[in-house]
Amino acid sequence: MKLTQTVQKGGCAAKVPALILREILAGVKFPPLIPGVSVDGALFDDAAIFDVTPEISLVQTLDFFTPILDDPHDFGAVAAANALSDVYAMGGSPKTCLAILAAPLATLAPEIIRDVMQGASDVIARSKSSLVGGHSIDDDTLKFGLSVTGLVHPKRIWKNEGAQAGDVLILTKPLGTGTMCAGLKRGVYAQADIQEAVESMKRLNNICDYLTETSGIHAATDITGFGLAGHSVQMARASKVSLHFIFSKLPLFQKTMSSLEAGFLTKAHRSNDEYTRDTLSCERAPLERQVLFDPQTSGGLLLSVDKNSSEQIVQELKAHFPGVAIVGEVSELKHHHVYVE
């Protein structure tokens, strides 16, 4: 069974479009924050933070989606890495995971669901956290993900509001998972044809495990369904700065441009364009602009880093993140929040 043929949308491309999500949330009256909540969803951060002691804060997040790959083990692995990424994006270490599973039991064999769970379990083991339970329902389509709790020191939390003028921007993974997975869903690519992207999506964003010093990292966010443009705009808005990217420095997969040229797009390409239309300035060709709107699944971290720390961070990450690159810089807020040259 090809899992991608059982759903209309897959991976982070299935996210509710950012403009619609903001409209929905604007009409909800949320309960007041209790003491201890230091980061909530107000600035679209990657996870919530609850301060427990002066030295311990909880990081809480959840993420789930429909199949983006045909291989069930790989789908589970990507879904787990994607959910764990939100904890890493806050500077934290994951500790416990709860599984979120919806599956069509009448049409999906138990061994397929078991393979999804095993793929996730293998990645959770690599993250040095534990799968401690979860919840499952019988549903029309397969959906899988995790709720993750992690720990972080309150003084080492990365938020998306900390980017400072003069910072250097670093991206840890190449762009292009959205278009290549769209080609897979259309049956033009086999999963083996996009293995470079598959391995990247399964890769944990556990950059703290490889860095000798993290104090130079002022802000971070992971690049997922809203694309580089959407998540960059959210960081720039929260930090009240402008982000400047140099397109030629953006890391891309080998098939990214040819896949876009073949017209392998998702609805998220259009909705991400609409979301950033008033806040993004880009003079690149239409095909190159699509790179910015490409919905990433388990994409890389975008880091806003002190200039004096940037080269060392890139050098220490290269062995573990082959696509890591310096992609731009941060300036005082100008007319637009994000510029691409």
Which among 298, 80, 71, 276 has a CA at the least distance from the CA of 178?
298
- Of the candidates 91, 97, 13, 101, the one whose C-alpha atom is nearest the C-alpha of residue 46 is 91
In whole angstroms, give the CA distance from residue 3 to residue 82: 18
Has 12 been annotated as catalytic? Answer: yes
Per DSSP, what are the bridge partners of residue 334?
Answer: none
Question: Are the C-beta atoms of residues 225 and 268 closer than 8 Å to each other?
Answer: yes
Catalytic residue among 12, 97, 181, 282: 12
To the nearest 10 degrees (0 to 180), the angle between helices 227-239 and 267-276 is 30
Alpha-helical segments (H) within 153-194: 177-185
Name the phi and psi angles at 287, rounded to 5: -65, -40
Residue 143: CB atoms within 10 A of its CB come to 18
Whole-number Å distance between alpha carbons of 21 and 46: 15
User: What type of residue sits at position 312?
Assistant: Q
Nearest partner of 268 among 61, 62, 68, judged by Cα: 68
Active-site annotation, residues = 12
